Amino acid sequence: MQVQKTTAILLRRVDYGDADLILTFFSEDLGKISLIAKHAKKSRKRFAGALELFSNLNIQYRRRRQGGLAVLEEAHILDPFAALRQHILKTAYASYWAELAMGWAEDDQPLAPLYHLLVYALGELDAGRQDDALLNLAFQMRFMSLAGLCPNLNYCCVCRTEVENFQIAATGFDLPRGGLCCRTCDPTHEPTLCLSRGTIKQLQWIAEGDLARIGRIRFSSAALNEAQTFMEAFVPYHLGKEPRSLKFLRQIRPRATAA
């Protein structure tokens, strides 16, 4: 039987029988891993209270020769991210990010950049250093880039005219093509998604700028609503399904109020 050690975030925990838990982790070097934690439900002492959702842990587990889920042997807290579990809205954001990561990643497929994005975003959400709605935009944008599905916000997806040279201030976004579409290429169509030039620039910055400085971006509440509506249509469309946690987030989220 093979023992493995890694650093991983706990993204899902499900009861299994009276005593055990089935856990899904996202690890720095091993990607998504599902494990069984024996007696974890019956005795909190067994893992010293370490198995809280969204915490970043050092874990040790053992693969079984006969197959089936590997067994968690040890878990030690690296970053507890405890504050974010105290707020329902922060928990909803974290749940949405966890669902995106789990839905897209394959088992045992290493994807260190996604692990680092999760740790960074959960840490910021926990510390409350940045606006949570902006952090959510940044997470979605970076996640879609890692998934190879980043929206094209630089030029018209038909004629390739750069966005700076568009004739009008607000532009339609063509969801199936995954990019902006200028008025010349689509003069009659009434797009369901519209982005103003300012919002496009801010989204470009969020996609490519220094993540630690996103708090400096000033979104008007109208621009934040526009960007939020756009990202939360784009992500489900290109993933092929609406995450359940996104529905919940929409239900409990107040309307955008960022200055």
- Output 31 or 179, the one with its CB closest to Zn ion: 179
**Contact mark string toward Zn ion, 113..152, x via CB under 5 A:** ----------------------------------------
Separation between Cα atoms, residue 217 and residue 233, nearest integer Å: 22
- Output 78 or 185, the one with its CB closest to Zn ion: 185
What are the backbone dihedrals phi and psi of residue 209, each rounded to the nearest 5 degrees, phi first?
-75, 180
3-state helix/strand/coil string of 19-66: CEEEEEEEECCCEEEEEEECCCCCCHHHHCCCCCCCCEEEEEEEECCC
# chain residues binding Zn ion, by CB under 5 A: 5
Among 71, 77, 158, 170, binds Zn ion (CB under 5 A): 158
Residues 54-113 contacting Zn ion, CB under 5 A: none
222 binds Zn ion (CB under 5 A): no
**Contact mark string toward Zn ion, 169..188, x via CB under 5 A:** -------------x--x---
- Output 156 or 249, the one with its CB closest to Zn ion: 156
Residue 190: its H or E element = none
156 binds Zn ion (CB under 5 A): yes
40 binds Zn ion (CB under 5 A): no
Separation between Cα atoms, residue 257 and residue 147, nearest integer Å: 30
- Cα 230 to Cα 40, 94, 196: the distances in Å are 41, 20, 11
Tokens 């995106």 sit on residue: 100
Which parts of this chain interact with Zn ion (CB under 5 A)? 156, 158-159, 182, 185
